Amino acid sequence: MKRVFINGYGSIGSRLAQFIKDDPEITVVGVGKYSPDDKVQDAISRGFDVYVPEKKIDSFKNYKIKGTIESAVASSDLVVDAAPGGTGYVNKKQLYEPKNVMAIYQGGESVFGDERVSDLLFNSRVNYKEAFGKRHVMQGSCNVTGMGRILQPLREKYGSQIVRFDGILVRRWADLEQTEKTVPDTIEWTPNPHHGDDVKFYMGEKTPLFLQVIKVPTRQMHLHIMNIRFKDIAPKPDEILDLFKNEYGVATLWTAKGTKQIRDAAESMKFSFKDTNMIHIHANMLECIGDTVKMMYSDDQTGIVIPENHILMQAMLFQKPYEEAFAHTESLFHMAEKKRLLEEYFAKKV
């Protein structure tokens, strides 16, 4: 039995805690909170011990706090750093390394520059075994994770036949729970986005990926518009869809008209947190013209990285074989059943 502490209880931390508490191989030490807000009581009501920074403990006197984050880290085998983005490097240097504890960092951190948190950016579809023996690993962001689920199967199937990937990432403005964030009436573009460099970090720097990124006023998932150029005639749409038929965490939807419709379907099916935890290929938007495959797929923002974090834990803590790790994650997340339900709900009309 391994002891895992979740340092942060926001969009990622709250989801991950809820899933891994049912893992018979893991004991959840508790969750870390940095602000005395309603999320503290939420965590306590769900049965999690709450730990806070030692220097802030007086601010939490109205709550039943278990102890300090510093003590929780010291008693853990691994920490999932789900604290506010950009604080991972400081936590690594001040908390995790001094206490010789393994740590997983989220997409708000970086694998570049002087404040890089790791020399490995994890994507279970690409580099699962590379996490064996690592003490500090960064889990890719939702967009970066999603691209791995799409690009890697294409690369494995078609290899050097692919000339380049050209993508437009249409990003949601804020997560569903981030109600303090205003969603303004504007579209923003992002110069020099990190997403392409992050993908190339795990797929190889010579990966012919070219991205543009915009942010639109919605909370209902990301959407990727991806064009794949081939040296000769592109494969037919049916061949592309067949490639993803049995791909883990990728559903093929025919009749979905928008991202909120998918989110509403997930809610109606009682999926936890309204998450699908997967990529959704929009089959009615798939075209193959000359040398180019044009596809669109939506990305379940925060939800997609939660099973990825769990798979990464198994690589770092147990060094499980790939198939065994996926089977164990499936026992908690039921991705195959979610995929079946979504594909039936949005099936092609005869």
The C-alpha atoms of residue 313 and residue 296 are separated, in whole angstroms, by 30
Residues 6+ apart with CB under 8 A from 175: 11, 219, 301, 302
Phi and psi angles of residue 325, each rounded to the nearest 5 degrees, phi first: -65, -45
Catalytic residue selected from 142, 151, 278, 281:
142
Phi and psi angles of residue 65, each rounded to the nearest 5 degrees, phi first: -90, 140
Q: Is the dihedral of CA 240, 243, 245, 251 positive or negative?
A: negative
Closest CA to 103 of 145, 147, 64, 72: 72
Q: Give me the amino acid identity at 257.
A: K
User: How long is the chain?
Assistant: 350
288 classed as catalytic: no
The C-alpha atoms of residue 49 and residue 66 are separated, in whole angstroms, by 6
Residue 159 is classified by DSSP as: G
Whether 296 and 167 have beta carbons less than 8 Å apart is answered as: no
Whether 20 and 80 have beta carbons less than 8 Å apart is answered as: no
Active site residues: 142
